[in-house]
Structure 1
Amino acid sequence: MKVALFVETYLPYINGVVTHVHSLKTGLEMLGHQVLVVTADPEVKRHTLKDGVLYCPCKKLKRIYGYGLAAPVSRVREKLIDNFAPDIVHVHQEFGIGLFGYQYAKRRKVPMVYTMHTMYDDYLYYVVPKHLIPAAKQVAGRYSRMFVKAAAQVTGPSKKVESYLRSHGIKKPVNVVPNPVELDTFNLEHADMEKVAALREQFGYAADDFVTVFVGRVGKEKNIDQLLDFWAASQLAKEPRIKLMVIGDGPEREELIGRAASLGLSPQVQFIGKVMHDQLLEYLVACDAYVTASLSDTNSISMLEGMAVGLPVFHIHDPLNKGQVVEGVNGFIYNSADELAEKLLAYRDLEDKQPLKESVVESVQHSGAKTLGENLEKIYVKALRS
């Protein structure tokens, strides 16, 4: 089977969608399929085909790191994809490249699979003035409907995607395909423990400090402000040995640093900025638990990467992502500031953490590239038969 994957950004840039698509390409190739990734790249001046990836020239988007806006029409691009002759078009994002994929599938009568990774209602503030967001949500819903209607099959990382589509009046079934984690990369055995020790020393963590971590875009949709408020309103603020490391960059970083200071949390909370993906393993291993208050994620890959090295996840209650974090198996669910503090302190004080850590790692062992490829392979077969 020949599969063309359309995504707005790709390696060397890193985000959840890039990781998903790279793992899918790897998994499908492991199963013997041929894969072409079609992506925008602001660093190329002309269409460039290399190692199964077609890099398309585009205009760089300064407000969204790593993204560029490619023209949705290109004869050169079309000819190069014709040469590949895909059996399946799989659209992962919906802008210049995704729109091209949608149009290509329609013109060539190739079955299209559409994966909704992002529920855009939570991200519109990046590009739309606040007073226009209600209208923009309606437009986003209609735009999503166009892709869903044209797709032979629709997928998403959790039931939250189906709920989002229902809220916009879209009733087509969604195949839930959980996100992957790069198990070979995020493996405790592969961590350089000297680097781990050096990182803890660099950030001033003592041997008995209990370090929690959040990894992701530092934006409003991640609810880091609520996490800080919960921290300040609970027993955690009175526990100087409990720390919070926020890894990532984004438009809210400076404001959140100020918020942490105003809440008196600066000695406990550090915003360390962006960490390259190939260095992230040691940062995660240097920590003791993963914590998040985000309700915008469908199936956070950063969270899965933390689980892969044994970090239990402390996740705010999110009924639409029920089952991703199972109490006492791979983490804990909290509903309030006091409950977060209670559960974090209980885990910190647990004398033997190893059984839970092993359970956390086991919970993601079937989330690798091959499993993702097998899951999508079944959906492609359904698309071809529809």
Structure 2
Amino acid sequence: MTRPLRLLTFTTLYPNAAQPHHGVFVENRLRHLLEHDPGIAARVVAPVPWFPFSHPRFGGYAAFARAPAAETRNGIAVEHPRYPVIPKVGMTAAPYLLYRAARPVLERLRAGGYRFDMIDAHYFYPDGVAAAMLARHFGVPLSITARGTDINLIPRYPRPRRMIRWAAGQADALVTVCEALKDGLVDLGVPAGRVTTLRNGVDLSMFRPSADRAALRRDLGLPPPGLAPVLASVGHLIERKRHHLAIEALPHLPPETRLLIAGEGPEEDALKRRAAVLGVAGRVRFLGRLPHDRLHEVYGACDALVLASSREGWANVLLEAMACGTPVAASRIWGTPEVVAAPEAGRLFDDPTGAAVAGAVAALLADLPDRAATRAYAERFGWEDTSRGQARLFRAAVGAPAAA
């Protein structure tokens, strides 16, 4: 192939100007792939649910209305066609609605000269199913990457499960971000030999140890390092992230222990009420949503990150914290044990209780690893291996020679 291999990345998990943090892990994966292999080009089609009003009083739905129809992010052209979300029947209809919304955009791209060689889809349902329809319509190879809830929750429903299995059968390449999700696909009947695990990486230049942790703490109104343990819980304030367990751990920990919660979402008021009921509201700081490139300030300031999620594929916050030298206390679910696999990485806990979280945190704080050792552990998880594996897989799917 004398010209670049042309990818069409298709996913609803992709940032836009109105939602700059939404699906940033997919954007990072694609960006690092293109940096790794100049012989690959990409355009992105990232559909957004249709919503008629952009007024802030409509909350997260208003962001859908504010998302641009097209934009360029990090040098990559991105299209955001709208698709309808139908209450009550949306789960079943979503793949077809995505397909109908995206097909004219793909036809326009091809007519305009971007004749993509394959579709690179992220998130199996509904995105991967719609991508399988698109790949069949345009007669191009297809790769689908499984990321978490699309395999560890959605297949519990019979019709989505059947469609996921159909899409897997149509794909030329199947990717998961951890071995646990690969096992989930195999449980659905997909042959293990058809699935490649290519984990997420961490940006080791963005996330790095701070040269002045005291300044980070001072800026956050916290005591200097060594005077009071500081924990952080980072992510959307939704039930699945179980930030309440980090709050419920505080009564079991020394009274000087502080907790930073970074994120926004529908659970914020309930979390604040829970902290008040437990008498720890003065020990909890809600930071709101922070830009991705500022999270290193939180990781660098705290002594440990708590991730108490009930479901995760490959939780990026774990490696981000470790890259800043901060170990973690995390629930033993899905791909997390593959990330937290050494003492310098942190501790795992099994029970979804505040006491269990506190036990893991206490054990970690009693024998904190050297921050340089935690950073060295994270350095094993850069993007290079993942990008190399993606490039090899995509070139094999289209029959293109490997890049020099």
TM-score, scaled to structure 1? 0.80
8 Å CA contact 1:28–1:370 kept in 2: the answer is no
Supply the distance in 2 between the matched residues of 1:323 and 1:254 (Cα, whole angstroms). 33
Supply the distance in 2 between the matched residues of 1:81 and 1:199 (Cα, whole angstroms). 51
Q: Structure 1 residues 268, 193: closer, same or farther in 2, change over 3 A?
A: closer
8 Å CA contact 1:24–1:369 kept in 2: the answer is no
Alignment of 1:245-324 (within 5 A): 245-318=260-333, 321-324=336-339
**What's 1:54 paired with?**
78
Q: Partner letter of residue 41 of structure 2? A: Q
Supply the distance in 2 between the matched residues of 1:47 and 1:161 (Cα, whole angstroms). 32
**What's 1:360 paired with?**
374
8 Å CA contact 1:45–1:57 kept in 2: the answer is no
2:179 counterpart of 1:155: no
With CA pairs under 8 Å and 6+ residues apart, which has the higher RCO, 1 or 2? 1
Q: Pick from 350, 358, 366: which aligns with 1:341?
A: 358
**What's 1:141 paired with?**
161
2:133 counterpart of 1:103: yes
8 Å CA contact 1:40–1:97 kept in 2: the answer is no
Unaligned runs of 5+ in 1: 64-68, 125-133
Offset of residue 248 of structure 1: 0.8
Offset of residue 310 of structure 1: 0.7
Supply the distance in 1 between the matched residues of 2:153 and 2:285 (Cα, whole angstroms). 24
8 Å CA contact 1:89–1:112 kept in 2: the answer is yes
Supply the distance in 1 between the matched residues of 2:384 and 2:11 (Cα, whole angstroms). 20
**What's 1:130 paired with?**
none
8 Å CA contact 2:349–2:356 kept in 1: the answer is yes
Q: Structure 1 residues 171, 255: closer, same or farther in 2, change over 3 A?
A: farther
Offset of residue 320 of structure 1: 5.3
Q: Pick from 218, 223, 241: which aligns with 2:242?
A: 223
Supply the distance in 2 between the matched residues of 1:121 and 1:93 (Cα, whole angstroms). 9
Which shows bigger deviation, 273-282 or 17-26? 17-26
Q: Structure 1 residues 274, 48: closer, same or farther in 2, change over 3 A?
A: closer
Supply the distance in 1 between the matched residues of 2:303 and 2:67 (Cα, whole angstroms). 41
SS at match of 1:267: helix
Unaligned runs of 5+ in 2: 49-63, 88-96
Q: Partner letter of residue 15 of structure 2? A: Y
**What's 2:148 paired with?**
118
Offset of residue 342 of structure 1: 4.2
SS at match of 1:110: coil
Offset of residue 212 of structure 1: 0.9
2:10 counterpart of 1:6: yes
SS at match of 1:363: helix
**What's 2:196 paired with?**
175
Supply the distance in 2 between the matched residues of 1:330 and 1:49 (Cα, whole angstroms). 36
SS at match of 1:4: strand
2:390 counterpart of 1:376: yes
SS at match of 1:34: strand
8 Å CA contact 1:38–1:97 kept in 2: the answer is no
**What's 1:244 paired with?**
259
Offset of residue 93 of structure 1: 3.3
Q: Partner letter of residue 262 of structure 2? A: I
SS at match of 1:2: strand
**What's 2:46 paired with?**
39
8 Å CA contact 2:10–2:127 kept in 1: the answer is yes
8 Å CA contact 2:303–2:326 kept in 1: the answer is yes
SS at match of 1:212: strand
Q: Pick from 321, 330, 334: which aligns with 2:345?
A: 330
8 Å CA contact 1:247–1:271 kept in 2: the answer is yes
Q: Partner letter of residue 210 of structure 1? A: P
Identity of aligned residues (%): 21
8 Å CA contact 1:121–1:137 kept in 2: the answer is no
Aligned residues: 360
Offset of residue 341 of structure 1: 3.3
**Root mean square deviation, CA, Å:** 3.3
Which shows bigger deviation, 33-42 or 338-347? 338-347
8 Å CA contact 2:332–2:350 kept in 1: the answer is yes
SS at match of 2:199: coil
Q: Structure 1 residues 93, 316: closer, same or farther in 2, change over 3 A?
A: closer
Q: Deviations over 1:320-368 (max 9, x none)?
A: 5433102413111223555543443344344xx5x63222212222433
Q: Deviations over 1:262-298 (max 9, x none)?
A: 2222232233321121322212211111111213111
2:114 counterpart of 1:84: yes
TM-score, scaled to structure 2? 0.77
